[in-house]
Amino acid sequence: MTGQLIGTRRAAWAAVLVLGITSGSVIGGGVARADNDIDTLPAQQIADRSRDALLSVHSLHLSARGHYDSGSPAPTLELTLDRDGNCDGSVNLGNDQGSARIVKRGDDVWVKPDANFWKRQVPGVGSAFAAILNGRYMKGSADDPRLRELVNGCDLDTFQKLVSDHANNDRGTLNKGRKTTLDGASVVPLTRLRDGRTLTTYVAATGKPYPLRIMVQGGGASAVMGFSAFDKPVPKSTPPPDQTYDISALLSRPMSPV
């Protein structure tokens, strides 16, 4: 059980990262044009430019929430990450399944689960782990296999590869809507209907044509992914030593249900 502490539901929050990407992206493939008035371009060319803009950034903030299937937990994610593998943020697995703070800097990773995480994801002995940590972060190495999926999720390169790999997944007609505003920003909406789901991407109409929001609705799915803080650095602060506990030392301790 202890050896599976991180692996118990480590992939659940990572699934939020690919909502709107693997289910059929409206961020296109092909060669992008350099027109200045993006709202005058055809839908596919806007999608091309949006994809290229997203693939060019070195860091960004990702905000995601939603689920693939009705009735399933709806995880939420707030994460600032970069192409060097640094990240800072939090994940909530939804439906009182627990949440955790996540910090990665260089080769070090810190994770601080909350009480619900210990209760739901590590039943029986979770309360014993929580008592030992007493509000501190678990600290581990980026090459620890128990943290591998979490570490991969902190790497913007991994996310950008998902975008690139699915850029040509263009089944269904791509449509362009009228220019509108989204949280005060001028945007052009692009929509695609596929497999009973409507996918909408809102592309910035001024400045670089970044995708600012992706929405997936229908077919049991309900998800929103937002992008912001493009090329702004990941915070450099990390938990102080007196607020950390070595993960290997924690998992090697004999545990009994409390």
Ranking 47-51, 72-76, 196-200 by mean pLDDT, the lowest is 72-76
Whether the per-residue pLDDT at 9 is higher than 50: the answer is no
| DSSP conformation letters of 71-104 | TS---EEEEEEETTS-EEEEEE-STTS-EEEEEE
Read off the pLDDT band of 23 (50, 70, 90).
Answer: very low
Rounded Cα distance between 47 and 211, Å, is 9
Contacts (Cβ under 8 Å, ≥6 apart) of 86: 104, 105, 106, 154, 234
Contacts (Cβ under 8 Å, ≥6 apart) of 215: 20, 198, 199, 200, 201, 223, 224, 225
Read off the pLDDT band of 235 (50, 70, 90).
Answer: very high
SS3 assignment, position 48: helix
Read off the pLDDT band of 13 (50, 70, 90).
Answer: very low
Q: What is the mean pLDDT of the chain?
A: 82
**Residue among 88, 122, 82 at smallest CA distance from 1:** 122
Whether the per-residue pLDDT at 6 is higher than 60: the answer is no
Residue 135's Cβ-count burial label (10 Å; 0-12, 13-18, 19+) is exposed
